[in-house]
Structure 1
Amino acid sequence: MRSSTLVNGLDRAGMRAHLNAIGLISREFSQPFIGIVNSWNEMHPGHAHLQRLSQEVKNGVRMAGGVPFEFNTIAVCDGLAQGHVGMCFSLPSREIIADSIEVMVEAQRYDGLVFIGGCDKIVPGMLMALARLNLPAVFLPAGPMLPGRYQGRELAIYEVREAVGKVHKGEMTEEGLAELEEIICPSYGSCAMMGTANTMSCVAEGLGLALPGSSTTHAVFSRKLREAKQSGLEVVRLVQENIRPSEILTEKSFHNALRLSMALGGSSNLLLHIPAIAHEVGITLTADDIELISRSTPHLCDIKPSGRYVMKDLDEAGGVPAVMKELGNELLYLDAPTVNGRSWGEIVSTVANKNPQVIRTRDNAVHEHGSLAILKGNLAPEGAVVKQTAVAPSMRRHRGPARVFDSQEEAVETILAGRISPGDVLVIRYEGPKGGPGMRELLAVTSVLMGMGLGENTALITDGRFSGATRGPCVGHVAPEAAAGGLIAILQDGDMINIDIPGRELNVDLSMEVIKERFEKWSPKMPKVNSSYLSRYSRLVESVARGAVLKKEW
């Protein structure tokens, strides 16, 4: 075991003395050392409950004959970072999470790992570290929160943000908004919808890295405590049998996870995160790969923010295993292994779809194709992404004049002032990984668009990204971004933008002569944030088309 580096041999007396100081006895020196990577955070509803889960993981580790050691990593709450400069730090936190875990694990020589996390950048950051370190490991999803209930309807967090626009329009009172604020987040957990947090937890399960069913088990359910204990038991078995992530994270498992995401109606942010995780094990996944899978995967689950149901409904219907069962061996590699020692074929043979209204059959799909569409054209030669299942049929093809903004704040101010007309195409640039820096989620602007009644007649394109809560004709991840000299950098008000989702095209009506003339006068804008870390990040970050991973060389 790796931990023998710390405890075996006469010259390791100093290390053993340090371990004695924290209460270990000699018998434990021969047992597997298990790192419990916890993203517990007092200011984060998705992670405030993780100390109890960690305790149950440790109980499971000890039951199986291992020695648990808990340590923490950072956890940014995207819900708190929305709409201000703090969002510039969210995506870059993914790299810090992965790197900080690598530092601890390599320095302290754990034999196996359990990762506990549940929100937007924490899950992919942990999965990147899990793949990179290639030690026996289990991922434990922190679990969704219960939905809010207002006037007889079950709601998720994005609906309170959209309500702000309704207040501005006079369709809702400030008192009604205050009441909604009080009840919409009734428990700990990740937001009660198929946003980025729950998409990526489901991805972890689809990859085979989490216990079956665990990604939809809600944070406040006692079942989550039992899953925590079982995760501790499983990781010791994985160490004893020397089963590593490289045996689970294969091309088959990434194929399965992408199929699952498209069937669930997953967040557009998976276009950033799944390629980054695959990159850690030497597998290249491109936007074209994701487009190919999306085109051939039916959308089976009508989950908020674009659908009718909440995560609790998905869990009660059977969760990820039931979705995998509906996809079947025609679309999945059911021989792919999982951390509980069973293949997906063995798992789905024992489950049932308990609610075909929530998890549709393939012959009764919500949409024929998966949730994401990759658009290309002169505005996005490397690609752009839209959550096509969240776009009204009337907006799937749209041509309109550009209204150009160099930040989200400028766009929000203009929308709230009533200066956007139906048919306009909002263009928000310098929000990419380099130009933001940090590629902010633009949930503030998309929520206001929906709340102001512009969600089905106004389009938006950006080199930034969207929250998993975003719905409507919103095209993000435009690459190359403005700061890298993409065509989006020289757009002007009135330029005619053509969005064709069925045709997978994104173009602007500009001649080569005009493009050349504008670029001769162009120079990139300075980043919005003066930050030591973000300055380094901006220099090292790759294109969003490659998962916004960091270059290994300066």
Structure 2
Amino acid sequence: MRSKPSGDIFGMTQSAGMGWKASELGRDHYLVLSTQGGLRAPDGQPVALGFHTGHWEIALQAEAAAERLHKLGGLPFAAFCSDPCDGRTQGTVGMFDSLPYRNDAAQVFRRLARSLPTRKGILGVATCDKGLPAMMMALAGMGDLPSVIVPGGVSLPPEQGEDAGAVQTIGARFSHGMLSLDEATELGCKACASPGGGCQFLGTAATSQVVAEAMGMAVPHSAL
């Protein structure tokens, strides 16, 4: 206690207050950062929706990573900064926030990491074309720490229908009489065939996962 910053000591008080075993508080600290969004019940049903499937099940991956870190003898911490979906904001002023978000979130992730001064390493879980580049920029800017990215993968495509790229045009096609309302409804409700993962087409989200793996920031074969 004589040689540690006062924040380290108060941090142990906070950790004990959250219910962690006091005997384990001296373990090495590891931070799990993620872009999780929405509130998901244990049975998978939505309590509150996220903005997109890409961050809907991220919390499950972060939880699995934290459990593994604990099993290996570490003390896991977790924090997150959620991310938007430019598909949801198309045709609105929300599009103006899409690209700047990456830089904003990268700063938030770095501030969160610095806010755990005792961290020994960082694991980042992210999926889509805003959150994943933000996570990559944040971890690349903390080269003094060991870090790894876990991509969130992609949602399953429908057995029949259109992927999440093609389906974004159903509004225009309906307006031009190319689709009926029933056809547009059916296509729209089928495009994301699993509740988690990013868009299936090789857009910025999937490309970012591939780039993270190619740069050595994610383990081999973890993209998509």
Do Structure 1 and Structure 2 share a fold, with TM-score over 0.5?
Answer: yes
Superposed CA offset, 1:335-360 (max 9, x none): xxxxxxxxxxxxxxxxxxxxxxxxxx
Q: CA deviation at 1:10?
A: 8.6
2:55–2:82 contact (8 Å) kept in structure 1: no
Whether 1:175 and 2:175 are equivalent positions in the alignment is: no
User: Which residue identity is paired with 1:76?
Assistant: P
Q: 1:55 to 1:18 in 2, by over 3 A?
A: same
The CA distance in 2 between the partners of 1:52 and 1:58, in whole Å, is 10
Where do 1:253-332 residues align within 5 Å? none
Is the CA contact (8 Å cut-off) linking 1:144 and 1:198 kept in structure 2? yes
Aligned residue among 144, 152, 157 for 1:142:
152
| Aligned partner (choices 37, 60, 64) of residue 56 of structure 1 | 64
Conserved in 2, the CA contact under 8 Å of 1:117 and 1:140? Answer: yes
Is this contact kept in 1: 2:199–2:205, CA < 8 A?
yes
Q: Which residue of 2 aligns with 1:132?
A: 141
Aligned to 1:71: 79
C-alpha contact 1:149 1:184 (8 A) present in aligned 2:
no
Contact 1:7 1:29 in 2 (8 A): no
CA distance in 1, matches of 2:185, 2:147: 43
Counterpart in the other structure of 1:353: none
- Counterpart selection for 1:123 from 132, 143, 147: 132
CA separation in 1, counterparts of 2:137 and 2:37?
20
Which string of whole-angstrom CA distances, capped at 9 and with x for unpartnered residues, describes residues 354-375 of structure 1?
A: xxxxxxxxxxxxxxxxxxxxxx
Contact persistence 1:39–1:47 (CA under 8 A):
yes
* 1:184 correspondence with 2:191: yes
Maintained 8 Å contact 2:164/2:191:
yes
Residue 209 of structure 1, CA deviation: 1.2
Secondary structure of the 1:170 match is: coil
**1:31 counterpart residue number:** 27
2:54 corresponds to: 46
The CA distance in 2 between the partners of 1:80 and 1:139, in whole Å, is 25
Separation of aligned partners in 2, 1:189 and 1:7: 47
Checking the alignment, whether the CA contact within 8 Å between 2:37 and 2:83 is kept in structure 1 is yes
Separation of aligned partners in 2, 1:79 and 1:177: 16
Aligned pairs (5 A) from 1:225-236: none
1:414 is matched with none
Contact 2:37 2:56 in 1 (8 A): yes
CA deviation profile, 1:517-549 (whole Å, cap 9, x unmatched) = xxxxxxxxxxxxxxxxxxxxxxxxxxxxxxxxx
TM, length-normalised to structure 1: 0.36
- C-alpha distance in 1 between matches for 2:163 and 2:184: 14
1:81 corresponds to which of 83, 89, 110: 89
Question: CA shift at 1:8, angstroms?
Answer: 5.7
Cα displacement (A) at 1:7: 9.9
Conserved 8 A contact 2:139-2:147: yes
Q: How far apart are 1:24 and its partner, in Å?
A: 3.7
Out of 166, 173, 188, the position equivalent to 2:173 is 166
Q: Which residue of 2 aligns with 1:206?
A: 214
Alignment of 1:428-447 (within 5 A): none
SS of the residue corresponding to residue 80 of structure 1 reads: coil
1:462-510 per-position Cα deviation (integer Å, ceiling 9, x unaligned): xxxxxxxxxxxxxxxxxxxxxxxxxxxxxxxxxxxxxxxxxxxxxxxxx
Output aligned runs, 1:375-414, within 5 Å: none
Q: Distance in 1 between matches of 2:3 and 2:121?
A: 18
Residues 1:17 and 2:3 are matched in the alignment: no
Provide the identity percentage: 28
CA distance in 2, matches of 1:169, 1:201: 35
Considering only aligned residues, what root-mean-square deviation do their CA atoms show, in Å?
Answer: 2.1
Tell which has more relative contact order, 1 or 2 (C-alpha 8 A, sep 6+): 2
Note the residue ranges of structure 2 that are not aligned, 5 or more in a row. Answer: 39-49
Post-superposition shift, 1:26? 4.8
The one-letter amino acid of 2:151's match is P
Report if aligned partners of 1:32, 1:112 keep a CA contact under 8 Å in 2: no
Q: Residues of 1 paired with 2:164 and 2:2: CA distance?
A: 49
TM-score, normalization by structure 2:
0.85
| Alignment-mate amino acid for residue 199 of structure 2 | C
Shift of 1:16: 2.8
In structure 2, C-alpha distance between the alignment counterparts of 1:49 and 1:202, rounded to whole Å: 20
> How much does 1:96 deviate?
1.5
Equivalent of 1:100 in 108, 126, 132: 108
Equivalent residues of 2:164, 2:200 under 8 A apart: yes
CA distance in 1, matches of 2:157, 2:191: 7
- Superposed displacement of residue 25, structure 1: 4.0
Superposed CA deviations along residues 102-154 of structure 1, whole A, max 9, x for unmatched, are 1111122121111111011111100000011121111010110001233xx5x
What is the rounded CA distance, in whole Å, between the counterparts of 2:55 and 2:12 in structure 1? Answer: 33
Matched pairs, number = 208
C-alpha distance in 2 between matches for 1:89 and 1:23:
38
- For residues 62 and 183 of structure 2, the distance between their equivalents in structure 1, rounded to whole angstroms, comes to 38
Q: Distance in 1 between matches of 2:14 and 2:176?
A: 64
Are residue 113 (structure 1) and residue 135 (structure 2) matched? no
Compared with structure 1, are the counterparts of its residues 208 and 198 closer, same or farther at alpha carbon in structure 2 (3 Å cutoff)?
same
Look up the SS of the partner of 2:32 in the other structure.
strand
* Structure 1 SS opposite 2:155: coil
Of structures 1 and 2, the larger Rg is shown by 1
Aligned CA distance change for structure 1 residues 184 and 31 (closer, same or farther; 3 Å): same
SS of residue paired to 1:102: helix
